[in-house]
Structure 1
Amino acid sequence: MDDVMDSDTIWTHIDTQRSALADILDGLPADAWEARSLCASWTVRDVGAHLALSHAGMRELLGAAVRSGFRYNAMVRDAAIRSPLGHAEIVQRLRGFVGSRRTVPLVSEREPLLDVLVHTQDICVPLGLDHPMPADAAVVALERVLWWSRRMPIGPRLRDVHLVATDVAWQAGSGRRVEGPVQWLLLAAAGRAEARQHLHGAVAALA
C-alpha cells in the first residue's frame, strides 16, 4: 500500500505537530530537558535541538559532517549534541518553522513529517505525556520508514514482517505478523524498543 496524502496535507500536519511540540517543550521544567529520551543517547534537549536544525543548510552542518567522517547518522547525532541552542531558542525555532516548506538538502516533505512524529514521542513517552499521533500522518510516516528500509540497512529488519494496524485500515509486508496501533508500529519500525510492548504477534522480529 502506498500513501496518497498530498503535499499540502503533509505540510499541515508538520506545522501542527511542530507547533504542538513547541508548546510541550515550552511548558517543561528545566530538569525535564535533561531526561533521557527514547532516542538512544539523546536527552530531551538533544531531540529538540535536532528538530530545531530542520532548516539547517550545509554550512551550518559542515563541522558535524567533518567530525563524523561524513557519515550521515553520526553527523546528525553530533550536530544535535553540540548545538549551542538554549531551551528558549529551540522553542522559538520550532515555532518559526510553522508555515515554511523548507527542508534540508536532498529530502522530501515526508522526512520532516517522520522526524516530528517520531521525535515528539521520543520526548513525550519517557516523560509520561500523552500526545497521540494523527493516524493518517502516522501511516504516511510508516510508509516512508518502509521505503527507506528497502534502500538502507538501518533500524529493525522489516522485509520478513507483516505489519498490521489495528486502528486504521493499513497493512504491509509478508511473513511474521506483528499488529497494533499504527503509532506504535511506526515507533517500533523506527527502532524504538519501548514500542514493542504495545504490539502483539511476532514482536521479536522487530528487534
Structure 2
Amino acid sequence: MPEPRVTETRKALEQAIHVERSALAQDLAALDEAQWAKASLCERWTVEEVVAHLTAGASTGMGRWLLSMLAARFDPDLHNDRRLAQHRGTTPEETLRRFREVVAGRTGPTGHTAAWLGEIVVHGEDIRRPLGLVRTPPVTTTTAVARFFAGRDFTVAGKTALTGLRAEATDGPFTTGSGAPLRGPTLSLVMAMAGRAVACEDLEGEGVAILRARLRSG
C-alpha cells in the first residue's frame, strides 16, 4: 500500500483545522449537561472549559496574545484562564455557539499553523476520550502534527518527550529519533508528545515504559 501523501502547506493545514473544528462542533452538539461538565484530559479543565479555550485560541492574534501575556506577567496558566473565562458562555449552548463562530477562522497567536492544527487535534481528543467518543483524524493531519511536535518544544514538549526513543507510526509514514522503539497509531503518538500519559495504553515497544515514566514525572 502506498504511503499517504502529507501536504503541509499553510492552505492544507488551515483546511485540516477547519475539518477538525467542524467535526468537534458536530460531536459537541449531542452532549448533555453532565457531559459538558465532565473532566477532560486537561487536568484543570472540564469539557466546556476546553471548548472555551479553543475559542480563545482561534480568536487571538499575535498582538492580542502579547498584550494578554504581558498582563499575566508571562504566566501561561493565568493567561489561558483569563482568555478561557472571556470566551466561555453563560450556558454550554452559548459556549458552543461561540466556538462555531470561529470554526472557519484563520486567526492564531503566531504563524505556526501546524501548532494550531495540533491544538484542535489534541484538545479534540482531550474532550472525546473521557466521553467515550471516537474520531481518528486523517493520517495526513496527524502526521503533520506529529512532525511539528517532534521537531521542537513549542506549544508542547514533544521533542523532549521522545528523547532517546525511536517513534514509528503503525498507520502512517511518521518516524523519528533513535533508541528504544515506540510504535502505535499516529494520533496516540501525538497525544503522548502532548503529555497525555493515557496515550501510552495504545503504544507498544520497549520505549513505552520509558515514555510513561517520563510523562508521569513531568
Taking structure 1 as the reference length, the TM-score comes to: 0.86
1:65–1:72: 8 Å Cα contact kept in structure 2?
A: no
1:157–1:205: 8 Å Cα contact kept in structure 2?
A: no
In structure 2, the CA distance between the partners of 1:7 and 1:60, relative to structure 1 (3 Å rule), is: closer
Deviations 1:101-122 (A, max 9, x none): 2222x23211210000010000
Query: How do 1:65-84 and structure 2 match up within 5 A?
Result: 66=71, 68-80=72-84, 83-84=87-88
Q: Secondary structure at the match of 1:187?
A: helix
**Structure 2 residue aligned with 1:10:** 13
Matched, 1:27 2:11: no
Q: Secondary structure at the match of 1:145?
A: helix
CA RMSD of aligned residues (A): 2.4
**Structure 2 residue aligned with 1:200:** 204
In structure 2, the CA distance between the partners of 1:65 and 1:46, relative to structure 1 (3 Å rule), is: farther
**Structure 2 residue aligned with 1:142:** 146
Deviation, structure 1 residue 184 = 0.5
C-alpha distance in 1 between matches for 2:25 and 2:142:
19
Bigger Cα displacement from structure 2, 46-55 vs 4-13 = 4-13
Q: Secondary structure at the match of 2:191?
A: helix
Matched, 1:91 2:93: no
Bigger Cα displacement from structure 2, 168-177 vs 183-192 = 168-177
> Aligned residues: percent identity?
30
1:15–1:97: 8 Å Cα contact kept in structure 2?
A: no
In structure 2, the CA distance between the partners of 1:169 and 1:120, relative to structure 1 (3 Å rule), is: same
C-alpha distance in 1 between matches for 2:179 and 2:195:
19
Counterpart selection for 1:118 from 82, 106, 122? 122
Unaligned runs of 5+ in 2: 1-5
Q: Report the count of equivalent residues.
A: 202
